[in-house]
Amino acid sequence: MIRILIFAILLSACSTPRKLETGRDFEKAYRWQRAIAPAALSFAGGVCYGFHETVVHHPDRIPANWNKQWWDSRQSWRNKYKDGDPVNGPAWFGAEYVTFGQDAKHTFATGYRYTTLAAGICIGLGQRRPAWHYAADIGISFVCAAVGFHGIYSGFFKK
């Protein structure tokens, strides 16, 4: 940790000081409409993460009438193998590496990663804005992700 700190200090000391061009035409008023796309993506990411964490840590909360072979990670790991047996090899070429769609754990983990990435990209795109606009977008997105997560993990799958 100390090496990283020293490297960061040396890197900042070696950089050339420049005048920061902030632009003269900043939009002063915050437009909450810009936060809709990242907030919706963050909410979807939170829902995916809620499903993922339930499947991984609380498979007993999964309803009995749902397909356990896809939802229960204690069984679903076999889905990538031909006839569910590792001795028979992969079910199809690349099945051991491309696991999206083979079971709930990997599908929702992938959904979480990519919706969160997309939300971050949406926050950063567009015109130059004051830093507090970005902070507001991040805060709104964080709240939406938490609502999505707890809606599934603590609400939908509550026992």
Q: What is the pLDDT along the chain (159 residues), one digit of tens a residue?
A: 666 655 556 555 555 555 555 555 556 788 888 889 999 999 999 999 999 999 999 988 988 899 888 888 888 877 788 887 778 877 878 777 777 778 898 899 999 999 999 999 988 877 788 888 889 999 999 999 999 999 999 999 877
Q: How far is CA 131 from CA 21, 98, 138, in A?
A: 13, 38, 11
Does residue 86 sit within a domain? yes
Closest-CA residue to 49 (of 119, 158, 150): 150
- Which pLDDT belongs to residue 86? 77
Does residue 7 sit within a domain? no
- Which pLDDT belongs to residue 102? 82
Cβ distance 48 to 113 under 8 Å? no
Number of domains in the chain: 1
Does residue 9 sit within a domain? no
Residue 130 tokens, joined: 């004051």
Alpha-helix residue ranges (DSSP H) falling in 77-130: 104-124
- Which pLDDT belongs to residue 2? 63
- Which pLDDT belongs to residue 10? 53
- Rounded CA separation 10/27 (Å): 35
Does residue 151 sit within a domain? yes
Does residue 101 sit within a domain? yes
- Which pLDDT belongs to residue 35? 87
Q: Domain containing 57: what range? A: 32-156
- Rounded CA separation 63/41 (Å): 27
Does residue 76 sit within a domain? yes
Does residue 12 sit within a domain? no
Does residue 10 sit within a domain? no
- Judge residue 26's burial from the number of C-beta atoms within 10 Å of its C-beta, 0-12 exposed, 13-18 middle, 19 or more buried: exposed
